[in-house]
C-alpha cells in the first residue's frame, strides 16, 4: 500500500494548494450583487465590500474627462453617481439609456467607484420573451 500512499500524498498536496489558491482568489475578487436601494441600508458594510450594481444609464448624464467617465445610474426610482477610471475602455454599447452593470466600491462620499463596467443596449441583443424590438420600432 506504500505505493498508493505516495500517490495519495501527492494528490492531497496538489489539491490542497489549489484549494488554498482558490480561497484566496475568491476572497480577493468576490463581488456582492446589490440594488441601489439596498446600498443605503447596508450601513458600514457598503464601504468595505466589492459590489455589483445594475441599472440604466440616466439620459444626458454621461460626462467624460480624459479616461474618467461620470454618469448617473438609475434603478427604478433610485439614482447613484458612478465614476469610472480604468485602463479598459468602456464597451461600445455603453451610452445613454443602456443597461449597465458596474463592479466596484462605494466611497464614503456616496459616489460609486467602478472598476469594471459591462453594458448592453436593451433593444439590441435579444428582446425579452414576448416582445419584439422590430415590432416596437415599426410602431406596430
Question: Which residues would be at the binding site for other proteins (CB under 8 A)?
Answer: 3-4, 6-7, 10-11, 14-15, 17-18, 21-22, 24-26, 28-33, 52, 63-67, 87-93, 95, 101, 103, 116, 118, 120-121, 123-129, 132-135, 137-138, 140
CB of 89 to other proteins, least distance (A): 4
Q: How far is CA 6 from CA 14, 18, 126, in A?
A: 12, 19, 54
CB of 93 to other proteins, least distance (A): 7
* Whether 47 contacts 106, CB under 8 Å: yes
Instruction: Output the DSSP codes for 44-97.
Output: GGGGTSEEEEEEEEPTT--EEETTEEEEEEEETTEEEEEEE--SSPPPTT-STT
Kindly tell me which of 28 and 44 has the beta carbon lying closer to other proteins: 28
Kindly tell me which of 22 and 111 has the beta carbon lying closer to other proteins: 22
CB of 82 to other proteins, least distance (A): 17
CA dist., res. 38 & res. 110, Å (int): 13
CB of 72 to other proteins, least distance (A): 17
Half-sphere exposure of 129 (CA within 13 A, CB side): 0
Kindly tell me which of 109 and 140 has the beta carbon lying closer to other proteins: 140
Amino acid at each position: 500500500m506504500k505505493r498508493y500512499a505516495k500517490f495519495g500524498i501527492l494528490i492531497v498536496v496538489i489539491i490542497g494548494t489549489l484549494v488554498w489558491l482558490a480561497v484566496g482568489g475568491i476572497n480577493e475578487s468576490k463581488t456582492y450583487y446589490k440594488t441601489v436601494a439596498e446600498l443605503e441600508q447596508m450601513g458600514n458594510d457598503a464601504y468595505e465590500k466589492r459590489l455589483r450594481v445594475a441599472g440604466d444609464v440616466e439620459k444626458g448624464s454621461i460626462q467624460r474627462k480624459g479616461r474618467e467617465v461620470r454618469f448617473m445610474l438609475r434603478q427604478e426610482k433610485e439614482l447613484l453617481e458612478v465614476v469610472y477610471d480604468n485602463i479598459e475602455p468602456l464597451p461600445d454599447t455603453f451610452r445613454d439609456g443602456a443597461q449597465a452593470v458596474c463592479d466596484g466600491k462605494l466611497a464614503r462620499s456616496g459616489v460609486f467607484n467602478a472598476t469594471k463596467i459591462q453594458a448592453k443596449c436593451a433593444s439590441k441583443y435579444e428582446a425579452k420573451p414576448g416582445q419584439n424590438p422590430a415590432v416596437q420600432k415599426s410602431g406596430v
